[in-house]
Amino acid sequence: MRRHGARVRVMLPALAAVGVLAPAAAAVAAPDSSTPTFSEYSPLSTSAEIMRRLLSPLTAREVRRSLERSGEHLREQSIDLSAERFVLYVPPQEPPGGYALLVFIPPWDEAQLPHGWDTVLDRHGAIFVSAAHSANTADPVGRREPLALLAAYNVIRRYRVDPLRVYVGGFSGGSHIALRLALGYPDLFRGALLNAGSDPLDAGPPSPPERALLERFQESTRIVFVTGEHDLPRLAMDRASLESMSEWCAFDTAAEITPGAGHELAGPAALSRALGALAAHVRPEPAKLNACRRVLDKRLAARLARIRSLIDGGRSGEARKLLEETDRQFGGLAVPESLELAAALD
């Protein structure tokens, strides 16, 4: 078995109060780890790009305004790779079409390959990478999300990775971050493994990204839920998330329930089923997808018209409240109209 790793420091202050998720049980690390250094930075992990893709437009606008008022500047990268540690596992046999890649976001602080996962990764030809100090208590925008993006970028630069099998995953609190990244970066991640943690797509966060990214997510991203049979709160979350996926025209989903399990990390058998499910993409039917998108556009148009009506009627407080709700729910899909309405309310 081979594993590797590297180090990172936060240079960007927290951009927004996006919430801290509940802690979860730690995994058991597999033996024989080593720590290589990652050193290459991705344009996808710049602070400006993360804000554009992962914050709602009005939240990103407020962050920029706050920085201007304080005289501070947005740092290009929030992570110093020379100060970080990662764990990396590479199967000994490269598949003919290149490796799959699973970027894993943990709820715990250590960089660990969960016990028993190495044999499953070997069978599926999947590289595993995970960052240290990316626990639920870490800042999502300034740390957890850029760490995952940089891990993916450095692995892809070092190994022959099949771009159709690049996945982001997480357990418990890390699973919520994985969903945000899958939604905001469908041009990088073709699937997400959500192990005992999920959200609706319009929970704010996450908020839908701009139209081009949202449409790519709808067309090409596979979402697989893996939750224990007795983990009733997370099963309820999964049902709400699946319902939201359908409402937001993301139909390529699968749900795996682990018999006898509670709120616990997926074991080797559950992981193997999940990796198999991630590879089983189902392309949406064009007619169904287009009809669903028209419904979304109609809902958004009605909401924006209502906000304009409130502004014209001098009810700015109600208009601002409804605009903030629209920004959380529709995110980038409401741009540029939502930003224009915000300017009218300034």
* Res. 18: pLDDT tops 90: no
User: Which is it for the CA torsion 51, 56, 58, 59, positive or negative?
Assistant: negative
The Cα–Cα gap between 250 and 215 comes to 9
Query: In terms of domains, do 163 and 87 share one?
Result: yes
Q: What is the dihedral of CA 26, 27, 33, 38, to 10 degrees?
A: -60
pLDDT at 326: 98
- Start-to-end CA span in the chain (Å): 59
- Is this model's pTM higher than 0.85 or not? yes
User: Which class for 296: exposed (0-12), middle (13-18), buried (19 or more C-beta within 10 A)?
Assistant: middle
Query: How many domains are contained in the chain?
Result: 2
Model pLDDT for residues 54-89, shown as the tens digit of each residue: 999 999 999 999 999 999 989 999 999 999 999 999
Query: In terms of domains, do 256 and 310 share one?
Result: no
Query: In terms of domains, do 57 and 179 share one?
Result: yes
Domain harbouring 232, CATH code: 3.40.50.1820
Model pLDDT for residues 254-311, shown as the tens digit of each residue: 999 999 999 999 999 999 999 999 999 999 999 999 999 999 999 999 999 999 999 9
Query: In terms of domains, do 187 and 134 share one?
Result: yes
pLDDT at 312: 97
Q: From 239, 265, 284, give the residue that closes a domain.
A: 284
Q: What would the two tokens of residue 210 be?
A: 């701009």
Query: In terms of domains, do 130 and 256 share one?
Result: yes
Domain range spanning residue 318? 287-345
Query: In terms of domains, do 135 and 179 share one?
Result: yes
Q: What would the two tokens of residue 310 be?
A: 């409130």
Look over the chain and give the mean of its residue pLDDT values, rounded to a whole number: 91
Query: In terms of domains, do 263 and 341 share one?
Result: no
Query: In terms of domains, do 106 and 127 share one?
Result: yes
Query: In terms of domains, do 90 and 167 share one?
Result: yes
Query: In terms of domains, do 52 and 65 share one?
Result: yes
Q: State percent of the chain over pLDDT 70.
A: 90
Please count the CA atoms within 13 angstroms of the CA of 58 that sit on its side-chain side: 26
Query: In terms of domains, do 183 and 291 share one?
Result: no
Query: In terms of domains, do 303 and 265 share one?
Result: no
DSSP 144: I
259: cis peptide before it, omega within 30°? no
The Cα–Cα gap between 281 and 283 comes to 6
E strands, the chain, are 3-4, 86-89, 99-105, 126-131, 161-171, 191-195, 222-228, 253-258
The Cα–Cα gap between 114 and 270 comes to 13
